[in-house]
Structure 1
Amino acid sequence: MDTFKGLRSQQFSEIELISLIVSGQKRLFEYLMQEYSKRLYRIGMSILHRDVDVEDMMQNTYLKAYEHLNEFEQKSLLGTWLTRIMINECLLQKKRNRRFNSECTESYSNSRADMQTPENILVSKELGLQLEDAISRLPEQYRLVFVLREVENLSVKETGEALSIGVSNVKASLRRAKTMLRKDLIEYLSDHLFKFYRSRCDK
């Protein structure tokens, strides 16, 4: 039986998986990638808007996490740790893009074209472009808090840790984000925003 599938069926905890990976069973890192790829992709899209850039930053995140997995002290949840790495990688990429103003402008204007794969065209038909536009127009702090809390269902504490802000700031930013979005968009957000397909993991 395939070792990876066998471990999934045994419902190993994340801590146990980390121990196994650090001890030499490197292939099991794939399980952690599949577990958190959807979250990291959504977070990346909320910052960079281009799935090509986001996929690059996801690779960077997983490489850094793998290289430093033995240093993970379990003071926070693994998902929070990965989220923090992903946010930092995306913000660094955003700064790099800003060095080239024309490229930055082109990057945002072409984001829709980049997303017009057969899969995303289907998603667009279901949701309408208005959904992603509304989220994209939120100021970055509100957008990140909204995605982490309402889409990824992180707790207030986890969101604060991921963004390095206080609990009160998380709550205030979430309230502000909600007032800037129409109520009918919020209802559909968790099921449809920035769809992540398993084919991205395979790639």
Structure 2
Amino acid sequence: MNSIRPIDYELLKDEEIIDLILNGETTLYELLIRKFNLRLYRISMSIVNDDMEAEDVMQTAYINAYLQLANFQNKSSFGTWLTRIVINESLLYKKKQAKREQLIINSSEKDHQTENNPLKELMNQELKTLLEKAVSDLPEKYRLVFVMREVEELSTQETMDILQLSESNVKVRLNRAKEMLRNDLSTYYKSEQVFAFDLVRCDRIVNFVMSKIADYHGKKNPGMRGTI
């Protein structure tokens, strides 16, 4: 009698995993989270510039992506689609943050207080190395392209697709970022050093997102809660 060989999920393409998830194997979403965690963290960090806020942005992006998974149409790679979602969430966070900061400033001016802005302190607390500070200090449009091309090693084409920029714009921004970092910093940066993403952080995001997905299915069908 022929035995059925178990599926090696690690060898499946993203689109194949998505098909299995949509057919009820929701726990496989963890594979996609772990695969893209580092990339999304670095890209979100390049926009929001705060590691804990970047985690929150990623969790929201993963949940939103899961809820929209049936709408993924393979017009681009899943990684590109997912990266666009996290960029949108990061920009939305930054816009909300700017409004909160303005409210704090207005309140301080009204009350004639001189207290430090806690949001600015949060933004600065995780600049652990000279290199990370140099990258974080780049203007956003240069920092984002630098992180995507040099740290995440995305291709020029994928960077163009994600940011909806022309090839010349991507190259100009990358070259400008390198110039601003100066030659004496070029020997310091290694991809594993910039916006490090350890296993504990990875597990934390996976557990949060998967628990929210379980809650989502439990609310839709209480009988499914024990199967995820």
TM-score (normalizing by structure 2): 0.76
Aligned to 2:197: 196
Report the CA distance between 1:101 and its aligned residue.
Answer: 2.3
- Taking the aligned partners of 2:97 and 2:124, their CA distance within structure 1 comes to 18
Report the CA distance between 1:73 and its aligned residue.
Answer: 1.1
Aligned pairs (5 A) from 1:1-203: 6-8=8-10, 11-101=11-101, 105-113=117-125, 115=126, 124=128, 129-187=129-187, 188-203=189-204
One-letter amino acid of the structure 2 residue matched with residue 186 of structure 1: S
One-letter amino acid of the structure 2 residue matched with residue 168 of structure 1: S
- Taking the aligned partners of 1:186 and 1:20, their CA distance within structure 2 comes to 43
- Check the 8 A contact 1:44/1:90 in 2, yes or no: yes
3-state SS, counterpart of residue 190 of structure 2? helix
Report the CA distance between 1:67 and its aligned residue.
Answer: 0.7
- Check the 8 A contact 1:149/1:156 in 2, yes or no: yes
Count of aligned residue pairs for this structure pair: 186
Report the CA distance between 1:71 and its aligned residue.
Answer: 1.0
TM-align CA RMSD? 2.1
- Taking the aligned partners of 1:23 and 1:109, their CA distance within structure 2 comes to 46
- Taking the aligned partners of 2:79 and 2:185, their CA distance within structure 1 comes to 26
Whichever of the two has the greater Rg, that structure is 2
- Taking the aligned partners of 1:182 and 1:189, their CA distance within structure 2 comes to 15
- Check the 8 A contact 1:50/1:107 in 2, yes or no: no
Residue identity over aligned pairs, in percent, reads 45
Q: Which has the higher helix share?
A: 1
- Check the 8 A contact 2:101/2:119 in 1, yes or no: no
Provide, for residues 134-185 of structure 1, a one-character-per-residue CA deviation record: whole Å limited to 9, x for no partner.
1111110100000000011111111011112111111111111111112343
Moved more, 46-55 or 102-111: 102-111
Provide, for residues 79-135 of structure 1, a one-character-per-residue CA deviation record: whole Å limited to 9, x for no partner.
11111111110100000011122669532333343x39xxxxxxx4xxxx2111111
Gaps of 5+ in 1: 117-123
- Check the 8 A contact 2:41/2:58 in 1, yes or no: yes
3-state SS, counterpart of residue 195 of structure 1? coil
Gaps of 5+ in 2: 1-5, 106-116, 205-228
Report the CA distance between 1:5 and its aligned residue.
Answer: 9.0
